[in-house]
Structure 1
């Protein structure tokens, strides 16, 4: 890719950051961050194609794998970890993998992202197959750990997507459904945990949320399948049951919710004709 330019590595548009006041730093960072949702809006058609393909896989019993290194890997793991409690999807359907393994979630593992074979080896541990969908995440679009895995997936007929922040990157060439959110140079030169990381988080939110809605894990605008894992969620669920069943008594709705284990099951049970 002779014309490939790493926009994410270009020099910051701002200089003398160490001479700025705190107010100036915050204002200028916020000014840069405002560009991120605009950049995401430009690639909604790319995201749409990815989501449509992903929904088909999940509805057919497949799984979603996120694969990344560093910040990108952590963002994938974060998104994957939030699916079961938010939408009640069983563990193991959305899986986040990071270069260097679980240790790398908290601290960097030296050179793990440079191993072009390890990403595929990590996927093999989970018996990945052509029923599944693999999304590689790399701000630079050049991470060997991710690219190698996507290339192996493609050679085996496994559907792939990618999220990157450089146009025409190697990761896009390796993916069936590439998403490229070009947010420009970072406020601190090369620090892709900033705008690039924000862009990736927004895209991940869009992918997982729209997919969960399309496979029926949301009714109207409510998380009717959420896990009742803390008091806040139990309270939210109780109020949803009250609204859906037109029950005015909080305790009655709460007992129904706890009896059936989810808003959807409680509402379906009471609405089902006897």
Structure 2
């Protein structure tokens, strides 16, 4: 299989990386986890994804930052005791393979698939493909196809860490309706009209906004469009970052997770498919 000319491959500590450089952007992808680590549009040469400087990048644990792929469950919602199964599923801790890649007039397209999709906690026949398109925007589409004889349910998310200059200057536009607050025993609350991060935040927004804008100092910085989702998750650990081993104690000041997610059970009959898409637009 030939690799698109815009993709250069290298390896470090047993992980293979894909370095993409085209007329529109630069990006870096780890085949461990099928994990996009960096996206720098050439329109402003500014990184849009946050990667922890303490991220473990040797295959011992999922990489902290970028766009982790959560599948087939979100968080610890797998029906067993917390810790019995890996948080956010098992795709982000295995080696993926390149299915195809190509250069187009608009950018670079890459299709990847995980090594396996059946494991303890999810024993169904299905195919999963992650399509990444690197151009003037960054598009990620995660497709799940039921290849078996019985229906199944699953949850999934593109757990994107966005880089910001200072979380104190960040405002989110586009979120409305109610959210479930994990930090308050999942109490249902109303989304604030002036959405700022001022404390530890872990919220599942039940109104699946199609567009969310990250503003810094009132100016739009990154626009996030989603489809195939039923929730938007917003997360920042605040000072709790100090207790996260692969995150700097003050790393929370420079990141915010805005995740395109399915948290309310997607059901697929045999031969049905579902696609979760997130598009990251520099503004």
TM-score by length of 1: 0.23
Choose 1 or 2 for highest CA Rg.
1
TM-score by length of 2: 0.22
Taking CA–CA contacts closer than 8 Å with sequence separation of 6 or more, which of the two structures ends up with the larger relative contact order? 1
